């Protein structure tokens, strides 16, 4: 047995032999999962109900096979119930056919005459268990409780009712529970607790323990999705993914390779237990729905028996929904993915001839792939529809593959639109540009329709990214300690903006035509967002704020989705241009709008980008605490499924880097960087690598920091926005400063100059603050001027910091340090506190020095009576403190030298330093200072 302790969870691993074949996997799945992680709140609740002092008599755990019920019970008993006497009972189909079958192991120890009547058996078993338990409390642990025979269930329930024992019982299907247990639940004697799926974070912890290494968030979320958060199925999926290379090691981190499609042998064995024993017709229906997603009920009943359909619904495998007509689909989409991997070409042809996809209700993406897998020709229009759905669901590779098999597909603007979108979303920007150039003459001949308008919007995105390709090289700031820092100058090429003007003209003509109003309204929204994105990419935040303010003010007229997406661009513009209070208020409003929206409204790529944009705006404007709160709880009050994947890890890593928490930043940024090495269509890698370099430099890991700086300088992939490039430059220069480069401060001041020209004052404030912290005292006045023009608490903090340094005012510096600590700027708070101490010591402000030291002692939780290190001596070195204590006690220099085994001249030199630091002129003044400090501490005075 091996203990693992991943951060944030307790783990207990029982090692078992590797499973060599699917049959072995099927047998192993019948056991409890080998790992227990997370679910700390549920563990506490179960333990509370089993405690002797609890008013409850126990609980009932309900969960699907492999959900971790047995592991949870075992964990609770090992951790919280070590002093109890545990009786373990297991129901089974075999024992359930025999009266008292589950209790046979106890009945053999009873006297023969005792086993002649149920009442005598109850009394005998109760006495037997009590005698074995002694003074310990008794806990009955029942697994597979729905398979107990009625006599065993009666005995166990009576022991609970008689207060002879407490109970924890596990069920796969509570509807099949014995009547006695149902009664205990209805009467409130036992509490029902349902085991839901593991969260993405818990899945990551479980996968990391199994893989014995860190895993990227993308990989963890993909595993959570395919396993449904079921622990047993998750471990099976981990093995399948590892074997086929869908997860692989990249710089000691397990990352996701989305292009690898596993066959799921272990996961199939685990999941298909639930569908074992099905009839041929039921199996065929499940496989068909897996291949096409959805089918009309009427069409299904033409080929399948209604009783078989009802049975599948009752078993929880199928669900019936009303769209335009009643339609059937699989309850668990992951089961469909696994089933598709098990159906070969011959079987697919057989199912196609039995019951193929429906043109009106089936998934176009899945239907197209089904036709492609049997070398069939795609029906007209299916390629474009399938590609559109694949793009919308975040699979641009599948969209491009679907369009590649239909030579006639690109004859329509809708298909060309989806192909270019697939290239853009997949990070193939050059391919997108080439496709546009190749088909531009054809596109010009298309009739004026919504697809043509959207094609112009995509053309703008392609040209916009290309126009930034050369300036984006400026992200390579300081690839080494001796490199000359570069800055991006304003005024990037803007020829592509005319494409949006052309799109607006086309939209105006569409409004005059017979195109439905809802369609033109959608196009108008897309154009608004396209202009906002274009301006943001070029750092034109003042223009964006002016453009979006009036649009956002239209409120509900926009519709919730457009209002949130446009609002996120406005929040970014306000946050970066120094309107921090406005950005903070808007962020809270947008987060609430997303929280109140129907589920799924903002869970696509655009919604995730909006959330990340808001978080980044708050980070840049210094509102770290608010950004952390929003990032942790998500718009829905739950971090799972809100902002996930690599974007989440990057946001979290940047947050920790801004706060000065290098270890926490590294724990997020390194997995993100490893995942970005697989693909980086959004251009996140330079910023991530620069922040990681800064974190490594703070930790004193010079080689690692330099390696990250080189990664930032040579990163390839998507073109990042202006704000993301600027963030990368900021951290690259901070990393170089920590590595000792003399060019870091000049580079920061150049960035501040550029920021002032572009009116991105929040970035300017960050650069100036960093330069002053690094010793640029000549920039204090400029820092003060910029701080006074920026809204928000961070601006006030910087203002107090600049005034405190400029006027040698320790009290203002202390205010700045307190504000920094309150808003999450931990390193800044620490540094500013040190500056306040230096200033107070330099001007001889002993009261402030004592106050600072006393606060430090309280924050470090040292005792008030700690006499080992007096407050007034905390600014000294350990040797100086030792000499100061002896001198204050009246010990001569010669005696001090002998005591500390140093020379008298060394003692004299140290005393000179001590007198200078403490602003005293003699031993008597030193003794008075120490005595007065001790008196103040004992009297509770500052």
Q: pLDDT (tens digit, 9 = 90+) per residue, 16-62? A: 233 333 333 333 333 334 456 678 888 889 999 998 878 789 999 99
Q: What angle do CA 43, 47, 53 make, to 5 degrees?
A: 160
pTM of the shown model? 0.80
Amino acid 709: pLDDT? 96
Task: Indicate the DSSP class of residue 758.
Answer: H
SS3 359: coil
Only one residue has tokens 């070409």, namely: 345
Amino acid 936: pLDDT? 52
How far apart CA 726 and CA 240 sit, in angstroms, is 41
Amino acid 904: pLDDT? 84
How far apart CA 52 and CA 715 sit, in angstroms, is 60
Q: CA gyration radius for the chain?
A: 34
How far apart CA 74 and CA 65 sit, in angstroms, is 16
How far apart CA 859 and CA 597 sit, in angstroms, is 42
Percentage of the residues of the chain whose pLDDT score is greater than 90: 52
Amino acid 935: pLDDT? 58
Query: How is residue 426 written in tokens?
Result: 């997949």
Burial of 705: CB neighbours in 10 Å, binned 0-12, 13-18, 19+? buried
Cα atoms in the Cβ-side hemisphere of radius 13 Å centred on 929 = 27
| CATH architecture type of domain 743-843 | Alpha Horseshoe (1.25)
Amino acid 124: pLDDT? 87
Cα atoms in the Cβ-side hemisphere of radius 13 Å centred on 643 = 30
How far apart CA 657 and CA 94 sit, in angstroms, is 59
SS3 253: strand
**What class has domain 282-362?**
mainly alpha
Amino acid 18: pLDDT? 33
Amino acid 923: pLDDT? 82
How far apart CA 587 and CA 609 sit, in angstroms, is 14
Query: How is residue 914 written in tokens?
Result: 């001590």
How far apart CA 889 and CA 930 sit, in angstroms, is 10
How far apart CA 39 and CA 71 sit, in angstroms, is 11
Q: What angle do the packed helices 517-537 and 497-512 form, to 10 degrees?
A: 170
Q: What is the dihedral of CA 356, 361, 362, 364, to 10 degrees?
A: 120
How far apart CA 55 and CA 190 sit, in angstroms, is 10
How far apart CA 243 and CA 251 sit, in angstroms, is 18
Contact between residue 528 and residue 568 where contact means Cβ atoms under 8 Å apart = no
Distances 890 to 857, 904, 922 between C-alpha atoms, Å: 26, 15, 11
Collect the ranges in the chain with pLDDT lower than 50.
1-34, 470-494, 639-641, 861-869, 940-942
Contact between residue 179 and residue 152 where contact means Cβ atoms under 8 Å apart = no
Q: What angle do the packed helices 560-576 and 541-552 form, to 10 degrees?
A: 150
How far apart CA 636 and CA 199 sit, in angstroms, is 15
Strands, DSSP E only, in 23-96? 35-36, 58-62, 85-90
Contact between residue 526 and residue 454 where contact means Cβ atoms under 8 Å apart = yes
How far apart CA 939 and CA 942 sit, in angstroms, is 9
Q: What angle do the packed helices 200-211 and 231-244 form, to 10 degrees?
A: 60
The closest alpha carbon to 754, from 740, 768, 744, 741, belongs to 768
Contact between residue 102 and residue 90 where contact means Cβ atoms under 8 Å apart = yes
**What class has domain 39-194?**
alpha beta
Distances 638 to 171, 217, 602, 634, 655 between C-alpha atoms, Å: 27, 16, 14, 5, 19
CATH code of the domain made up of 849-942? 3.40.50.2300
Amino acid 55: pLDDT? 77
Amino acid 598: pLDDT? 87
Amino acid 866: pLDDT? 42
The closest alpha carbon to 528, from 549, 556, 510, belongs to 549
Q: What angle do CA 444, 442, 681 make, to 5 degrees?
A: 95
């Amino acid at each position: 047995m091996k203990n693992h302790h991943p951060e944030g969870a307790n783990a207990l691993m029982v090692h078992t032999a590797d499973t060599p074949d699917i049959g072995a996997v099927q047998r192993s799945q019948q056991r409890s999962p080998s790992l227990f992680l997370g679910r700390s709140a549920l563990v506490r609740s179960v333990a509370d109900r089993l405690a002797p002092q609890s008013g409850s008599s126990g609980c009932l755990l309900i969960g699907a096979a492999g959900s971790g019920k047995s592991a949870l019970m075992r964990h609770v008993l090992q951790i919280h119930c070590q002093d109890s006497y545990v009786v373990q009972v297991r129901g089974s189909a075999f024992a359930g056919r025999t009266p008292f079958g589950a209790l046979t192991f106890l009945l053999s120890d009873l006297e023969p005459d005792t086993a002649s009547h149920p009442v005598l058996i109850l009394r005998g078993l109760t006495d037997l268990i009590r005698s074995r338990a002694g003074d310990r409390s008794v806990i009955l642990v029942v697994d597979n409780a729905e398979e107990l025979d009625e006599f065993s269930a009666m005995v166990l329930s009576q022991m609970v009712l008689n207060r002879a024992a407490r109970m924890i019982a596990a069920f796969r299907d509570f509807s099949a529970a014995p009547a006695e247990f149902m009664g205990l639940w209805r009467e409130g004697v036992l509490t029902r607790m349902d085991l839901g799926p593991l969260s993405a974070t818990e899945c990551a912890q479980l996968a990391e323990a199994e893989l014995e290494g860190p895993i990227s968030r993308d990989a963890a979320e993909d595993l959570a999705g395919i396993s449904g958060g079921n622990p047993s199925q998750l471990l099976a999926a981990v093995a399948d993914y590892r074997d086929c290379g869908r997860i692989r090691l990249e710089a000691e981190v397990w990352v996701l390779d989305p292009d690898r499609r596993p066959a799921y042998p272990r996961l199939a064995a685990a999941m298909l237990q639930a569908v074992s024993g099905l009839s041929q017709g039921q199996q065929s229906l499940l496989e068909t729905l897996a291949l096409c997603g959805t089918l009309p009920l009427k069409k299904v009943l033409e080929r399948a028996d209604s009783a078989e359909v009802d049975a599948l619904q009752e078993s929880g495998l199928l669900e019936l929904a009303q769209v335009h007509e009643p339609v059937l689909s699989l309850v668990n989409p992951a089961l469909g993915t696994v089933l598709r991997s098990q159906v070969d070409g011959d079987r697919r042809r057989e199912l196609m001839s039995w019951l193929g996809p429906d043109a009106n209700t089936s998934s176009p993406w899945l239907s197209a792939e089904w036709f492609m897998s049997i070398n069939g020709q795609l029906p007209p229009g299916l390629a474009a529809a399938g590609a559109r759905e694949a793009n919308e669901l975040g699979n641009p590779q599948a969209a491009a593959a679907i369009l590649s098999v239909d030579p006639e597909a690109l004859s329509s603007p809708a298909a060309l639109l989806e192909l270019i979108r697939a290239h853009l979303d997949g990070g193939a920007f050059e391919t997108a540009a080439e496709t546009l150039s190749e088909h531009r003459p054809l596109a010009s001949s298309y009739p004026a329709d919504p697809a043509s308008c959207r094609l112009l919007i995509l053309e703008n995105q392609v040209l916009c990214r290309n126009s930034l390709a050369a300036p984006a090289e400026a992200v390579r700031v300081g690839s080494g300690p001796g490199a000359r820092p570069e800055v991006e100058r304003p005024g990037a090429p803007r020829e592509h903006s005319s494409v949006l003007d052309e799109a607006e003209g086309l939209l105006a003509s569409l409004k005059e035509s017979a195109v439905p109003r809802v369609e033109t309204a959608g196009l108008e929204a897309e154009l608004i967002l396209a202009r906002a994105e274009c301006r943001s990419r070029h750092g034109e935040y003042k223009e964006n704020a002016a453009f979006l303010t009036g649009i956002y003010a239209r409120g509900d007229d926009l519709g919730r989705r457009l209002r949130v997406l446009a609002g996120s661009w406005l929040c970014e513009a306000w946050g970066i241009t120094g309107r921090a209070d406005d950005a903070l208020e808007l962020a809270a409003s947008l987060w609430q709008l997303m929280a109140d929206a129907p589920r799924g409204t903002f869970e696509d790529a655009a919604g995730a980008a909006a959330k990340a944009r808001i978080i980044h705006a708050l980070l840049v404007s210094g509102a770290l605490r608010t950004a952390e709160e929003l990032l942790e709880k998500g718009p829905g009050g739950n971090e799972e499924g809100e902002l996930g994947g690599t974007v989440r890890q990057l946001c979290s890593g940047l947050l920790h880097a801004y706060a000065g928490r290098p270890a926490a930043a590294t724990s997020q940024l390194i997995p993100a960087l490893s995942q970005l090495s697989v693909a980086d269509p959004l251009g996140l890698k330079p910023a991530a690598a620069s922040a990681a370099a800064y974190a490594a430099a703070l930790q004193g890991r010079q080689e690692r920091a330099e390696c990250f700086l080189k990664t930032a300088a040579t990163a390839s992939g998507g073109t990042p926005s202006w704000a993301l490039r600027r963030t990368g430059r900021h951290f690259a220069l901070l990393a170089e400063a920590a590595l000792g480069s003399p060019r870091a401060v000049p580079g920061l001041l150049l960035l501040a100059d550029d920021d002032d020209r572009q009116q991105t004052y929040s970035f300017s404030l960050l650069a100036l603050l960093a330069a002053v912290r690094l010793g640029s005292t000549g920039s204090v006045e400029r820092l003060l001027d910029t701080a006074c023009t920026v809204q928000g608490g961070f601006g006030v903090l910087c203002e107090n910091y600049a005034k405190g340094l400029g006027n040698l005012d320790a009290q203002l510096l202390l205010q700045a340090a307190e504000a920094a600590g309150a808003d999450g700027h931990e390193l800044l708070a620490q540094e500013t506190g040190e500056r306040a101490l230096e200033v107070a010591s330099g001007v001889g402000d002993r009261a402030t020095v004592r106050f600072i030291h006393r606060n430090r002692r309280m924050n470090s939780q040292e005792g008030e009576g700690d006499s080992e290190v007096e407050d007034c001596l905390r600014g000294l070195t350990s040797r100086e403190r030792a000499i100061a204590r002896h001198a204050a006690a009246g010990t001569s220099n010669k005696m001090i030298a002998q005591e500390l085994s140093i020379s008298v001249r060394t003692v004299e030199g140290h005393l000179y330093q001590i007198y200078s630091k403490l602003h005293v002129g003699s031993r008597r003044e030193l003794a008075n200072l120490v005595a007065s400090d001790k008196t103040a501490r004992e009297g509770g005075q500052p």
